[in-house]
């Protein structure tokens, strides 16, 4: 917002929540993003940046790194490329150790971190940090060597403690500046004049910004960059997907067996040209991620985080993925995608428009039609029961497909997924026994191409069960009219 409180505008979008913004030296807004797109639970809150006009949302540090569980209250250090932040617990993101991060070293590797308060350690995923050496909050850097911090010097339980304001230096020495025996003090900020951060011109064109629905566009230069082991020509489409924001007033988020709490949407697919390029429109203000697909709409690689775009924003990336510090490669030929008008996404075969991924709506009807005659009843063939009978949390077919290891998916349990993104074809439909079985006798039966695509799309979405946050999900509500509601169109 402006200094007088006017012109309040949203600069970020998230499926969970985004917190603790501060303006960096270079004028970008640094903040904590919390999301669960196909990554380990319990280590989600990471550092991201965005321009003050809401464009160019970008990863700064962490993402999949398991320890520390979360980073928050980050600030850029004046005159330095480093960031100071709190390394905290998953559900108590803002309390923990004071850590310096040097993103010129790495954007995900722990080598980039130096803890200034190692005696405090990193709080665990869910637990509150209760070390006898105390904990820290709200670091404010005066230089690379000196910080103001909120600190409690240690007690058995956090509720007995009073926080005060301290000075902390790069060697871990600290001096009390202000501590009231009764009241906690937080968020020290120097009152003396400071250098203003750089001002970044808005790239969102004013007339476009008025139209909240106006599409944004993306250009991928060569999707094969970073796709180790995938031969040129194999990628035919990009599927544009999204993670829907949680509804905070719902009765609780139902996890799927892949432990992914997000509901996932398919916006559509776009063609990838022979040279790996693609240029296409996407909806603004959504949490978008991408999958590279082969001719059967099976995923070769997927992006396990998201970006959002402002209305009218245009953005490019190189591949799927090179390290994101890389500049685009030199080419003497113009990308094929740029010789054509910007593509509009189209529904993939079997779809009529954007839709949610939902097991009961997408997969079960095909199982009922083609599979349960053999895989149902008293003695199911292959000892595999694919009936859609509701079970405590999901359904018998879903429990069996996943429980018997017939699907390959990314396990997002606590502490899973670390530092590096996985190479193409690590998980998904290409690695699932179900896919192979559906293509051979006696199981292939009369499964249509559209039905096959719906099933592999569900696998590659990392096996979500529910397509909506709405409705009653517990089996004890099975007679309720809203029991396991199907998603409303596109939601
Ligand atoms: C289908 C392949 C693929 C495509 C296409 C793709 N990405 Fe990604 N992206 C990934 C993977 C894999 C990761 C790593 C996620 C992780 O940390 O586990 C990633 C991560 C990211 C990150 C987080 C930082 C990082 O490097 O880990 C950003 C930002 C990002 N992508 C932006 C983009 C943009 C912009 C585009 C172009 C429109 C794009 N991506 C296209 C696969 C893809
Ligand atoms: C004509 C009967 C028949 C139909 C129809 C049929 N299957 Fe099968 N299926 C079998 C038999 C028999 C086996 C066990 C022997 C084998 O592996 O070939 C089996 C095995 C399987 C397995 C491997 C189970 C395991 O634990 O390894 C899967 C997965 C499977 N079927 C999925 C399906 C799906 C999905 C459909 C519907 C698209 C289907 N089948 C339709 C007869 C059938």
| Residues in the chain, pLDDT under 70 | 124-132, 155-161, 204-213, 250-252, 415-420
Rounded CA gap, 251 and 469, in Å?
A: 9
Tens digits of residue pLDDT in 104-158: 998 888 899 999 998 887 776 655 555 667 789 999 999 999 999 999 887 656 5
Q: Is 445 in the pocket of ligand 2 (CB under 6 A)?
A: yes
User: Is the shortest distance between the CB of 374 and ligand 2 below 6 Å?
Assistant: yes
Give the ligand 2 atom nearest the CA of 382.
14
Note the ligand closest to the C-alpha atom of 403. Answer: 2
> Dihedral of CA 277/280/285/291: which sign?
negative
Ligand 2 pocket mutation, candidates 432, 437, 447, 459, criterion most atoms within 8 A of CB: 437
The residue to mutate among 55, 269, 303, having the most atoms of ligand 1 within 8 angstroms of its beta carbon, is 303
Residue 216 has a pLDDT of: 92
Ligand 1 contact via 326 beta carbon (within 6 Å): no
Q: Pick the residue whose CA is nearest to atom 11 on ligand 1.
A: 303
Nearest bound ligand to CA 438? 2
Residue 484's pLDDT is what? 93
Encode 250-260: b = buried (16+ Cβ within 10 Å), e = exposed. eeebbbbbbbb
Domain boundaries, the chain: 17-178, 206-477
Q: Is the CB of 321 under 6 A from ligand 1?
A: yes
- Report the nearest-CA residue for atom 9 of ligand 1: 303
Q: Is the CB of 302 under 6 A from ligand 1?
A: yes
Q: Is 338 in the pocket of ligand 2 (CB under 6 A)?
A: no
The reported pLDDT for the residue numbered 2 is 87
User: How far does residue 434's CA lie from ligand 1's centre (Å)?
Assistant: 28
User: What are phi and psi for residue 138, nearest 5 degrees?
Assistant: 45, 55
Cβ of 200 closer than 6 Å to ligand 2, yes or no, is: no
Class of domain 17-178: mainly beta
Cα(446) to ligand 2 centroid in Å equals: 13
Taking phi over 0 as left and psi of -120 to 50 as alpha, with beta for the rest, 225 belongs to beta
Tokens of 284: 């603004």
- Residues 275-297 as b/e (b if ≥16 CB within 10 A, e otherwise) read bbbbbbbbbbbbbbbbbbbbeeb
**In terms of C-beta density within 10 A (0-12 exposed, 13-18 middle, 19 or more buried), how is residue 222 classed?**
buried
Q: How far is the CA of 127 from the centre of ligand 1 (A)?
A: 31
Q: Is 373 in the pocket of ligand 2 (CB under 6 A)?
A: yes
Regarding the beta carbon of 305 and ligand 1, being less than 6 Å apart is answered yes
Ligand nearest to the CA of 220: 1
| CA dihedral sign, ordered 279, 280, 286, 292 | negative
pLDDT of residue 211: 58
Residue nearest ligand 1's atom 42 by CA: 303
**Structure confidence at residue 298 (pLDDT):** 98
Q: Give the atom of ligand 2 at the shortest distance from the alpha carbon of 401.
A: 29
Average pLDDT, the chain: 90
Ligand 2 pocket check for 459: Cβ under 6 Å: no
- 248: buried, middle or exposed (CB in 10 Å: 19+, 13-18, 0-12)? exposed
Q: How far is the CA of 374 from the centre of ligand 2 (A)?
A: 7
Q: How far apart (Å, rounded) are the C-alpha atoms in residues 48 and 31?
A: 5
pLDDT digit string (tens) for 375-407?
999 999 999 999 999 999 999 999 999 999 999
Ramachandran sector of residue 417 (left: φ over 0; alpha: ψ -120 to 50; beta: rest): left
Q: Is the peptide bond before 187 cis (omega within 30 degrees of 0)?
A: no
Ligand 2 proximity of 370 Cβ (cutoff 6 Å): yes
58 lines ligand 1 (CB under 6 A): yes
Ligand 1 center to 48 CA (angstroms): 13
- For residue 118, count other CB atoms closer than 10 A to its CB: 13
Residue nearest to atom 36 of ligand 2 (CA): 371
Query: Looking at residue 349, what is its pLDDT?
Result: 98
Kindly identify the ligand whose nearest atom is closest to the C-alpha of 427.
Answer: 1
Spacing, Cα 289 to ligand 1 middle (Å): 7
Mutate to test the pocket of ligand 2, among 370, 442, 446, 449 (most ligand atoms within 8 A of CB): 442
What integer pLDDT is reported at residue 390 of this predicted model? 96
């Amino acid at each position: 917002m402006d200094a007088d409180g006017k012109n309040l505008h949203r600069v970020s979008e998230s499926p969970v929540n985004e917190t603790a913004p501060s303006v960096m030296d270079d004028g970008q807004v640094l903040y904590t993003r919390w999301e669960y797109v196909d990554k380990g639970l319990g280590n989600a809150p990471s550092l991201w940046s965005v321009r003050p006009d809401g464009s160019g949302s970008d990863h700064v540090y962490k993402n999949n790194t398991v320890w520390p569980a979360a980073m928050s209250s980050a600030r850029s250090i004046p005159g330095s490329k480093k960031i100071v932040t709190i390394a905290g617990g998953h559900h108590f993101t803002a309390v923990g150790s004071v850590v310096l991060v040097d993103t010129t070293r790495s954007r995900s590797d722990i080598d980039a971190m130096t803890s200034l308060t190692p005696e405090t350690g990193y709080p665990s995923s869910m637990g509150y940090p209760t070390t006898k050496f105390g904990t820290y909050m709200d670091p404010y850097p005066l230089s690379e060597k000196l910080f103001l911090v909120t600190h409690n010097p240690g007690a058995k339980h956090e509720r007995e403690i009073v926080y005060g304001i301290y000075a902390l230096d790069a060697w871990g020495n600290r001096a009390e500046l202000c501590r009231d025996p009764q009241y906690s003090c937080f968020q020290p900020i120097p009152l003396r004049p400071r250098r203003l951060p750089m001002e970044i011109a808005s790239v969102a064109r004013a007339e476009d910004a008025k139209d909240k629905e106006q599409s944004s566009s993306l250009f991928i230069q060569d999707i094969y960059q970073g796709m180790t082991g995938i031969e040129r020509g194999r990628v035919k489409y990009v599927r544009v997907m999204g993670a829907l924001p949680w509804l905070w007033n719902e009765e609780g988020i139902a996890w799927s067996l892949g432990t992914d709490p997000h509901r996932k949407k398919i916006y559509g697919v776009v063609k990838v040209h022979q040279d790996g390029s693609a240029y296409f429109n996407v909806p603004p203000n959504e949490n978008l991620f991408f999958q590279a697909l082969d001719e059967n709409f099976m995923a070769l690689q997927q992006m396990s985080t998201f970006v959002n775009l402002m209305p009218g924003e245009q953005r490019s990336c190189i591949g799927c993925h090179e390290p994101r510090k890389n500049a685009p490669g030199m080419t003497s030929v113009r990308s094929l995608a740029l010789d054509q008008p910007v593509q509009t996404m189209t529904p993939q075969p079997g779809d009529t428009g954007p839709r949610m991924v939902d097991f009961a709506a997408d997969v079960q009807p095909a199982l009922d039609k083609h599979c349960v005659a053999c895989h149902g009843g008293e003695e199911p063939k292959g000892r595999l029961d694919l009936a859609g009978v509701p079970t405590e949390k999901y359904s018998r077919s879903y429990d069996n497909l996943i429980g018997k290891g017939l699907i390959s998916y990314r396990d997002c349990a606590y502490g899973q997924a670390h530092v590096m993104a996985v190479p193409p074809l690590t998980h998904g439909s290409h690695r699932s026994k179900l896919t192979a079985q559906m293509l051979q006798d006696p199981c292939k039966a009369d499964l249509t191409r559209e039905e096959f695509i719906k099933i592999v799309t569900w696998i590659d979405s990392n096996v979500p069960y529910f397509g909506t946050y709405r409705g009653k999900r517990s089996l004890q509500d099975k007679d309720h009219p809203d029991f396991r509601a199907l998603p409303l169109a596109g939601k």
